[in-house]
Amino acid sequence: MSAITHHIPDAMLAAYAAGNLSHAFAVAVASHVSLCAECRVALGAHQAIGGAVLEDTGAVAVSSSLKDDILAQLDAAFTPEPVYERNVIFPGPVMEAMKGRAPRWKKLGMGVRQDILSEDANGSVRLLYIPPGQPVPDHSHNGLELTLVLQGSFSDETGHFGVGDLEIADEDLEHTPVADPGDPCICLAATDARLRFRALVPRLLQPFFRI
C-alpha cells in the first residue's frame, strides 16, 4: 500500500474518541484508522486525554441497590458481538458493517455499482465500485461526505487519493471524481445528506439510487 497522505482532521478524531460521531462517519473514521498508523497514534492521544479527564472528575456516590440493578440489566442485555477481521481489501470496521458478508453490488450505470451498508435519518454509509477511467457525475454536497479508498485510486479537483486516503468534502466543494487507470476503485462513502447533482439524469435517478 502506498503512503497515506490524506488523513482525518484532528477535531474529527477527537469527536470520534468522545463517541460524538454519527454511525456513518464513525465507520469511515474507524476504517481509516485501521489502515493508518499516524491516525492511530493521534487517536490514542485523544483517548488518553479523555481518560485523564475522567480520572480528574469527582465521583458521584450511588446506592448499592441502584448499582446492582444497573449491573443486572447490563448482564441480561449483553450479547457478545462477533469480531470481524480484515478480508482482502475490506478493513475490519467495513466487514463489521457488512456483518461479515460479501458486497451486494447493485448497478448504477456506466459500470459503477454500490452497496448501501446502512442508512438512517443521520446519514448513510455505502461501498462504491468505479471502473478504471470512469468519472462519477459532477456533484456538490448538502452536507459532509467522507470517502475512503479501499482499492485502486481516484483523482478530482482537489488531488489524488490512493488506498487509505480519506477525502472530506463539504458544501463548498463541487467535484468530478475519476477512477484512475489500473484496478477498479472501491471506496467507502459516508454522508449526512444527499448529494447535489448538476446534470438532469443523475437528479432524476437520485431517489432510486438513494445517493
**Residue 1's pLDDT band (boundaries 50, 70, 90)?**
low
Mean pLDDT over residues 161-173, rounded? 96
Instruction: Tell me the whole-structure pTM to 2 decimals.
Output: 0.81
Cα–Cα distance list, 50 to 41, 44, 46, 55 (Å): 14, 10, 6, 9
The C-alpha cell that represents 45 in the structure block: 492521544
What is d(CA 95, CA 27) in angstroms, rounded to the nearest whole number? 10
Average pLDDT over residues 16-27: 95
Confidence check: pLDDT of 63 > 70: no
State how far the Cα of 27 lies from the Cα of 37, in Å rounded to an integer.
Answer: 17
The Cα 168–Cα 148 span in angstroms is: 9
For the chain, the structural domain boundaries read: 1-211
Q: Which residue has the higher pLDDT, 63 or 153?
A: 153
Instruction: Please enumerate in sequence order all residues whose Cβ is within 8 A of that of 1, keeping only pairs 6 or more positions apart, or say none.
Output: 35, 162, 163, 164
> If pLDDT is split at 50, 70 and 90, which confidence band does 203 have?
confident
What's the mean pLDDT when you consider all of the chain?
Answer: 87
CB 150 within 8 A of CB 89: yes
CATH number of 1-211: 2.60.120.10
Do 138 and 173 form a contact (C-beta atoms < 8 A)?
Answer: no
For the stretch 15-21, contacts whose Cβ atoms lie closer than 8 Å and that sit 24 or more positions apart, written own/partner, are: 16/43, 16/46, 17/43, 17/46, 17/47, 17/50, 18/46, 18/50
| pLDDT at residue 66 greater than cutoff 80 | no
pLDDT of residue 104: 96
Work out the pLDDT band at 49, boundaries 50, 70, 90. Answer: confident
pLDDT 10s digits, 84-112: 666 779 999 999 999 999 999 999 988 99
**Res 67: pLDDT:** 64
* Look-up of cell digits 479523555: 50
pLDDT at 70: 65
Is residue 123 over pLDDT 70? yes
